[in-house]
Structure 1
Amino acid sequence: MESENEEGSPLSGILCLKTRQDMKRIEETEDCFILDFDPFDSFDVKRLSFSGADSERDKDLAIIHETGQVACRDYPHPRHLCLNFPFGSTPNPTHCPLCYCYVCDKPAPCEEWAVSSSHCNAYDSTLWKLMRTN
């Protein structure tokens, strides 16, 4: 019976890549390696712009990175939950392509969007819930 050493060890060296530069070359020669970085992260800090803060308080807070999908931005949502056009700080009749009417459950703008009952102003309240159920 041959020993394990004569056949060769089942273990091999494992490479750990620290930067993206060597990845293509190592991919061509190695079956397995560990990445010490996220290869899908293309975030570039140098592209950030912190100008245009409206108030002193806004200068203290900056969102510098975001991953994944956000329900109230990337999926259909009622107008009052829209992140592209925040309810109350932008005109309520404005809407993104994924907004829908809270009352009608139809894509915005509905037939009543900016007329008498102004469905564009609807939000999660007792009055609008009653109109929604009717």
Structure 2
Amino acid sequence: MKRARTLSDDSPIRAIACLKKIDDIRRFEETDDCFILGFDPTESSPVKDVSSKPLNKDADDDICVLAEKGKIALRDYPHSRHLCLKFPFKTTPSESYCEKCYCYVCDSAAPCMYWTVSRHCAAENSGHWKDKRKVRKIAY
């Protein structure tokens, strides 16, 4: 059943449904990107390929990610090194990079020729790195 389009459909803010019954999962998976489960899905779960180990990497019990569906932009598509999900910028050495990382300054695949020499591995979208990026774009 299609609902009538409203002005609020253009808003990036969406309501999030809280499912109370396990039977509602399939119906909501077809139309919604995100919903909250108001029950334990591991008890006779109809969802296939959900690992028993949560995808959370922190100790916060308030929210628990059970599964992912689709591509994750900062993991599965090219991204600046400081935005990498595989090697978080604040908790891993800045020299680290994944196969999708690129240099913020050079706009080339990591590692660039200045990766460790001029510390492009530490570049992020702020301060003097923004200036270096602008200068490089003008020069090339």
TM-score, normalised to structure 2, is 0.57
Q: Would you identify which runs of 4 or more consecutive aligned residues in structure 1 move more than 3 Å?
A: 35-38, 41-45, 52-55
Long gaps (5+) in structure 1: 1-17, 19-34
- Aligned-residue CA RMSD (Å): 3.1
The residue that corresponds to 2:20 in the other structure is none
The residue that corresponds to 2:124 in the other structure is 123
Aligned AA (2:98): C
The residue that corresponds to 1:81 in the other structure is 83
Q: Quick one: distance in 2 between partners of 1:124 and 1:53?
A: 25
- 1:49 pairs with one of 49, 53, 60: 53
What SS is found at the alignment partner of 1:49? coil
Q: Quick one: distance in 2 between partners of 1:53 and 1:78?
A: 22
Long gaps (5+) in structure 2: 1-22, 30-45, 136-140
Aligned AA (1:63): V
Instruction: Name the count of aligned residue pairs.
Output: 96
The 1:42/1:96 distance shift into structure 2, 3 A limit, reads farther
Aligned AA (2:133): R
Structure possessing the higher radius of gyration over alpha carbons? 1
The 1:77/1:53 distance shift into structure 2, 3 A limit, reads closer
Q: What percent of counterpart residues are identical?
A: 48
What are the within-5 Å matches in structure 2 for residues 80-119 of structure 1?
Answer: 80-115=82-117, 117-119=118-120
The residue that corresponds to 1:30 in the other structure is none
The 1:36/1:125 distance shift into structure 2, 3 A limit, reads closer
TM-score, normalised to structure 1, is 0.59
